Structure 1
Amino acid sequence: MPLPKDEFEQLYPCDFYTAEELLESGQMYTVYEIARMLQELEPDAELEPETEDVLLDWAIPWIMTNADDLVVAEPRGEDEPGYYGLNE
């Protein structure tokens, strides 16, 4: 259910990194690593599964929004995710 804005102590601008600001040139990242980096965490930070699920809710739309600036690589194995990097 929607809430009135005045029920929140503070509101922040909805500002996301661009692909070039977030990703290093020449590197490929999983969606899990991107999710962490969007929250200014290290790509290999340990997270509780519930926290990782919430971060993925941010990362997946970010990848879709920045798709023109990204390249994709197939997973290296059946049990691994795909990889994303800058489209240079």
Structure 2
Amino acid sequence: MPEPKSRFDETFPCDFYTPAELFEPDLLYTIPEIARMLQGLEPDAEVDDDTEAVLIDWAVPWVMVHSDELVIAEPLSEEGPGYYGVAPEAVEATDESDRAGETDGANGASPGVDGADGDQ
């Protein structure tokens, strides 16, 4: 049932990483690993089954929304999970936008990336 915002002490922006911000360019990850990383955890962090189910509920739509920035690899075994990674062109686009922003601001410093500190 919907709740009035006034019942909550605080609300937060719903800001997620992009694949280029989240993934190492030369690694592939499973959905459970992605789910942990979206919460600022290490990919191999121990979480209980109920928490993992909730995290995966967030990760699956994130993968779908960012599918044009991802690559996928077949499972390593017939029963194994699929693996996802950042597409090379997504990394290149991020690098190009970072270079373009390097001269923004009075001191010429590169602007920070919102949400890249794990506060998701």
Q: How much identity, in percent, do the aligned residues show?
A: 58
After superposing on structure 2, the runs of 4+ consecutive aligned residues of structure 1 that deviate more than 6 Å are none
Aligned residue number for residue 2 of structure 1: 2
Q: Tell which deviates more after alignment, 78-87 or 14-23.
A: 78-87
Q: CA deviation at 1:31?
A: 0.5
Give unmatched runs, 5+ long, in structure 2.
89-120
Gaps of 5+ in 1: none
Report whether the alignment pairs 1:44 with 2:61.
Answer: no
Q: Is the radius of gyration larger for structure 1 or structure 2?
A: 2
Equivalent pairs, count: 88
Q: Spell out, residue by residue over 1:8-28, the C-alpha distance to the aligned partner (whole angstroms, 9 max, x if none).
A: 000000100011000011110
Q: Which amino acid aligns with 2:12?
A: Y
Instruction: Give the Å deviation of 1:79.
Output: 2.5
Which secondary structure state, in structure 2, belongs to the residue aligned with residue 68 of structure 1? helix
- Report whether the alignment pairs 1:77 with 2:77: yes
**TM-score, normalised by the number of residues in structure 2:** 0.72
* Alignment partners' CA distance in 1, 2:23 and 2:32: 13
